[in-house]
Each structure stands twice: as C-alpha cells, then as structure tokens.
Amino acid sequence: MKKKKILVIHTGGTISMSEDQETGAVKPTKENPMKSKSENINDLAELILEDPFILPSPHITPKEMLYIKDLIVHHIQRSKIEGVVITHGTDTLEETAYFLDLTVNSDIPIVLTGAMRSSNEIGFDGLYNYISAVRVAISDEAQKKGVLVVLNDEIHTAMNVTKTHTSNVSTFQSPQYGPIGIVTKRGIVFHHKPINSEKYDIQYVTKSVPLLKAHAGMDSSLLYALKINNIDGLIIEALGQGNLPPATLPGVKALLEQDIPIVLVSRCFNGIAEDVYGYEGGGKQLKEFGVIFSNGLNGQKARIKLLIALESGCTKNQLPAVFAN
C-alpha cells in the first residue's frame, strides 16, 4: 500500500527540550531531537520535514501561527500533502490549534501534539505522542474533522480542548464534551464528529485584542487604561454565567462608545456565558449595552477568534453571529 505524504512541522516546546542534569532546568536544544526520531515513523508515512523555528510555546505569537498556516497552505498547493503533524509546546498549543482550525481551508487531517516531559527525562511522552499524531494524520477517518489535538491516546477538537494541569501527561481535556476519539494499539477510533466548521481568510495579524479576567471588587481602571491604548477588541472572562462587578460598568461603556467590541466568556471551567441575570452588572444589562456573548469558548480561544474575525474584515454588527457558533 502506498504511504501517505505527511507534512511534519517542528516548532519547539518541551517535546524538543532536554533537562539539565545538574540544575534540573528544562531548556531548548540546539538540534530538535524529534528530527532524529523520524526514522521510527518512516514506515508509517512519507514525511516532509519543516522546522521553521524552535520556540518555547510562551514565545509563540499569532505571527508564528500565521506563518505555520501559510506553510501548510504552501505544501497543500505545491507538495500535494495528505495530512499535517505539528509538534508544539503545550502552554499555547490549544491557541495555535484553534487559529489553524479557523484559517486553513482544507479537509486533510491537521494534528498537533506535544509533550509534558522533556526528551531526556524518564517517561518521556513526546515520541509516543508524535507517533500517535502521525497515525491519526494518515487515518482516512480523520479527514473533514477540523484541526485535532492528539496526546495521551486521546483525540480532541481544536475548539474544545484545553490544558488543565501544569505537569500531568493527561493535561489536555475537553470540558463538557470529552475527546472525539482514541488511539489504540490496533487503530484509530472516532466516536464523535464535529458538526460546525467556519473559515476565515486572513493575510496579516495586526489587531490588538487583550484578555481580562473578572474578579471580586474589579473596577474600571484597567478598562480605562486599555481605552487609551487603541485596542481593536477586548475579551473579558466574566463571573459565572456572564456577569461583572458594577464598578466595571463605566469602563465597559467607555470602550463600547469608542466602537471597541467586547466579547464576554465565563471564567468557569464548564458552561457558557448567557444574559440571564438582571441586576446591575448582570448579563442582561451587559447585553443591552452591546456586549457580545460567546457560545462556550474559553478566554484564550475567544481572543484568537475575535482577532481573526476582525482581521478578516468582520464588522461589529456581524460579531454576535460569529460568536453564536
């Protein structure tokens, strides 16, 4: 059987790092150790290797995400690839995955993976996750399922997955929904299929979209500070079902009066933000002001979506429908 042609993009992260035996510090290596591990995977697929940068994931910005997107599109058009695997640091892996899910218009499997333990630690999970990701990428069943995240024998969608533990190898979970499939010794098994897909065409990432987390006693000082910094949009992780302390209302109004879109998500681990409560600062009042409620995204994903939507030319009036999906 002819092997599928898979693009592998190494970007750095713990999967490419090693632990200093004297200090215990985990640091990037000069040569990504995953490149030498490709020999173990050549029996599975025909690999095209790219390593545009070796960065810890806190160093990844939307500009690197856009570069990865453009690299994938280039190889789809020129190399006729049938799947993509991306090794990535876990801290911002979910954001890169969602960015690609919204911007790469293709049915081929695109799979992100990483590691929680560095390459020379006992119990290194990187190579196993890498092999699992390739196995998913060559699976016919993985097509038309959007961008996927594969670690610890589980397959998650880019939209729902999030990092839930600082160090555990089972850190990636999809609250409320769970994984859509599993990796087994004998094959790849999917038991759910995403029903929604949306794509945006962007060429640049220039917009400024900060993220704030609401807290007890929060006032308008941070909102006023953002107002004078010429931001293009704002995400707020609100309390409960979508509520804010009343002292934030003057700042919220000031931003909205400048036509700066504000999107509300919940800071809760489960559930969605809704305009339920009618007291001062409650969701109903915020909705009447013109605050947009997001249907289930966490703060970091909502930020990626608002940035991309604004970059693609969506108007403020179109944004409520964008975040209703």
Bridge-based pairing state of the strands 147-151 and 26-28: unpaired
pLDDT band at 123 (very low <50, low <70, confident <90, very high): confident
Q: Which of 159, 190, 221 is where one domain is finished?
A: 190
pLDDT at 31: 67
Residues 39 and 183 in one domain: yes
For the stretch 17-51, pLDDT in tens is 777 666 767 767 666 666 666 666 878 999 999 99
Residues 59 and 183 in one domain: yes
For the stretch 176-188, pLDDT in tens is 999 999 999 999 9
Inside any domain, residue 197: no
Report how many domains make up the chain.
2
Inside any domain, residue 206: no
Residues 162 and 223 in one domain: no
Residues 242 and 124 in one domain: no
Residues 275 and 169 in one domain: no
Residues 171 and 297 in one domain: no
Average pLDDT over residues 252-262: 97
* Burial class of 245 by CB neighbour count within 10 A (0 to 12, 13 to 18, 19+): middle
pLDDT band at 282 (very low <50, low <70, confident <90, very high): very high
Structure tokens at 178: 């769970």
Inside any domain, residue 249: yes
Inside any domain, residue 316: yes
Inside any domain, residue 119: yes
Q: Which residues are catalytic?
A: 14
Average pLDDT over residues 187-194: 94
Residues 78 and 112 in one domain: yes
Residues 17 and 157 in one domain: yes
Q: Which of 190, 219, 235 is where one domain is finished?
A: 190
Residues 178 and 135 in one domain: yes
Residues 155 and 267 in one domain: no
- CA dist 33 and 150 (Å) reads 19
pLDDT at 2: 85
pLDDT at 182: 98
- CA dist 193 and 160 (Å) reads 12
Average pLDDT over residues 63-77: 98
Domain at 251, CATH number: 3.40.50.40
Inside any domain, residue 162: yes
- Are 3 and 46 spatial neighbours (Cβ–Cβ below 8 Å)? yes
Backbone angles phi, psi at 263, to 5 degrees: -110, 130
Residues 85 and 174 in one domain: yes
For the stretch 125-156, pLDDT in tens is 889 999 999 999 999 999 999 999 999 999 99
Q: Which residues of 254-273 are buried (b: 16+ CB within 10 A; e: fewer)?
A: bbbeeebbbbbbbbbeeeeb
pLDDT at 122: 82
Question: Which domain covers residue 252, as residue numbers?
Answer: 211-324
Q: Is the pLDDT of residue 211 over 90?
A: yes
Residues 226 and 179 in one domain: no
Please name the residue ranges forming H helices in 164-298. 221-227, 249-257, 283-289
Inside any domain, residue 200: no
Q: Letter for the amino acid at 142?
A: A
Inside any domain, residue 199: no
Beta strands (DSSP E) in the chain are: 5-10, 17-19, 26-28, 46-50, 83-87, 110-113, 147-151, 154-157, 162-163, 172-173, 181-183, 188-190, 211-213, 234-238, 262-266, 292-293
pLDDT at 39: 65
pLDDT at 285: 97
Give me the chain's average pLDDT, please.
Answer: 93
Average pLDDT over residues 264-279: 94
Domain at 99, CATH number: 3.40.50.1170
The pTM (predicted TM-score) of the whole model is 0.94
